[in-house]
Amino acid sequence: MPKINLLTDPMIIHGGENVYSPSDDSFLLIDYFKKIITENHFDGIDIRKIKNILDLGTGTGIIALLFQMVKLKNPKFNPKIYASDILEEALRCARLNEKANKFENKIKFVRSDLFKSFPDNLKHVFDVIVFNPPYLPSFQSVKEKNNTTKIDYSWDGGEHGNDVIIKFLDEVKNFLNMKNGCHVYFISSDRTDLRELNEKIENKGFKNNIVGKKHVFFEDIILNRLNLRES
């Protein structure tokens, strides 16, 4: 099997003015997955046990498309790939990029604000959930004028930057397959209250491992991997 870390990145040729373009946080995720997916394992989990993967907040679809590329190269890796976003415009772009990468109708798309519109049959099925959330504190001008635009969904994490991540943590266990090992990956920033975030993670029964970090301009962006704590 060709080494995953030698795969080219998915081709992203369709975007939109309100759709988040792949950036440093996207490639922090991609580079990590290229490193930890092997012929037999997905970050320590038997690769044959990975049946369903969710890319939440998919934007242009780049993470979901990477997993589709891995499926093409590794016959042992054959999960269903789901991609979700709050914006229909983002899902249109992701579908066009899916077609551009010759994976038409392979990814299952769900329009949803976090998990609100997910059907019941998707509860407790995902072995891997990836979330590149809005993780920056709101600009004061946006809060005062109440003039949030669609593109703000991609960066505005609320007053403290953790608001969306905390809502995600409140719901994510309902969609994890906890019979086998499962992984939750998400991006955060050191511009937010990391102590508050880690307390929330602990209270929800997760152990957090920081598996990647990159300094970009005014912040460190952090790749977190959550696993269920052993009781």
**What is the DSSP track for 148-199?**
--GGGGGTB--TTS-HHHHHHHHHGGGGB--SS--EEEEEEETTS-HHHHHH
CA distance linking residue 72 with residue 103, whole number of Å: 10
Residues lower than pLDDT 70 in the chain: 1-3, 5, 135-161, 231
Is 58 exposed, middle or buried (CB count within 10 Å of its CB: 0-12, 13-18, 19+)? buried
The pLDDT value recorded for residue 1 is 52
The pLDDT value recorded for residue 68 is 97
Q: What is the pLDDT of residues 149-163, one digit of tens each?
A: 554 444 454 566 688
The pLDDT value recorded for residue 145 is 46
Give residue limits of the domains in the chain: 4-9+21-228
Q: What is the pLDDT of residues 16-61, one digit of tens each?
A: 888 999 999 999 999 999 999 999 999 999 999 999 999 999 999 9
List of E strands, 63-141: 80-85, 108-111, 128-131
Q: Which residues pair with 116 in a beta bridge?
A: none
Helix (H, G, I), strand (E, B) or coil at 52: strand
The pLDDT value recorded for residue 169 is 95
The pLDDT value recorded for residue 35 is 95
Topology (CATH) of 4-9+21-228: Rossmann fold (3.40.50)
The pLDDT value recorded for residue 17 is 87
Q: Which amino acid is at 60?
A: T
Eight-class DSSP state of 129: E
The pLDDT value recorded for residue 163 is 86
Is 140 exposed, middle or buried (CB count within 10 Å of its CB: 0-12, 13-18, 19+)? exposed
